[in-house]
Amino acid sequence: MVQEEEAHAAENERTFIAIKPDRIAEIISRFERKGFKLVAIKIMVPSKEFAQKHYHDLKDRPFFNGLCGFLSSGPVIAMGFIKYGRKLIGATDPQRSEPGTIRGDLAVVVGRNIIHGSDGPETAKDEINLWFKPQELVNYRSNAEKWIYGVN
């Protein structure tokens, strides 16, 4: 891809992020610093059924029940971003996440790896639809975009 097309693709690709409270400002600021654009945000306590829907692709894994129990055990800050890569989050197992990534810097065990981020553009679409109503998504042009992506 030529540079401009790449910038355009990055500009339009969405990602869904979910975090537990306590490190809200620090985690949002990492996305903001990298140029992710926040287009939806809310705080909620997902039900167990909701968590099972969110993690439906993992339903056969041995940790599925614990994982859904954890997600629904308290508040979650759900966010939609126009994204720029998944590298910021780090590997699933925080012991293998590089320093400098969110999990590498802030998490210790895999079952409590602090942040969920969608695996790719398709799952991002499904997850944003699950967590947000269309009217909860706001689109706008931020001032920094022309410096970060080179678009006008």
43/109 with CB nearer ligand IDP = 109
37: Cβ contacts below 8 Å, ≥ 6 apart: 81, 82, 140, 142, 145
Residue 20 assigned to a binding site? yes
What DSSP designation does 134 have?
G
Q: Are strands 115-117 and 14-19 parallel, antiparallel or unpaired?
A: antiparallel
Residue (of 124, 144, 115) closest to 82 by Cα position: 124
Site residues (CB under 6 A) for ligand IDP, limited to 10-29 = none
For the bound state, the minimum distance from the C-beta of residue 2 to ligand IDP, rounded and expressed in Å, comes to 30
At 80, give phi and psi (nearest 5°).
Answer: -115, 130
Q: Which stretch binds Mg ion (CB under 5 A): 10-18, 99-107, 111-119, 140-148?
A: 111-119
71/149 with CB nearer Mg ion = 71
Enter the tokens of residue 6: 């790449």
Q: Are strands 115-117 and 37-44 parallel, antiparallel or unpaired?
A: unpaired
Enter the tokens of residue 90: 């780090």
For the bound state, the minimum distance from the C-beta of residue 25 to ligand IDP, rounded and expressed in Å, comes to 21
Helices (H) and strands (E) in the chain, counts: 7, 4
Residue 92 assigned to a binding site? yes
Interaction between residue 63 and ligand IDP (CB under 6 A)? yes
In the list 21, 66, 119, 137, the residue contacting Mg ion (rule: CB under 5 A) is 119
Site residues (CB under 6 A) for ligand IDP, limited to 71-130 = 92, 110-111, 113, 116, 119
Spatial distance between the Cα atoms of 3 and 91, rounded to a whole number of angstroms: 27
Residue 86 assigned to a binding site? yes
Residue 64 assigned to a binding site? no
**Interface residues toward ligand IDP, by CB under 6 A:** 58, 63, 67, 92, 110-111, 113, 116, 119
- Which residues sit in the known binding site for ATP? 20, 63, 86, 92, 103, 113
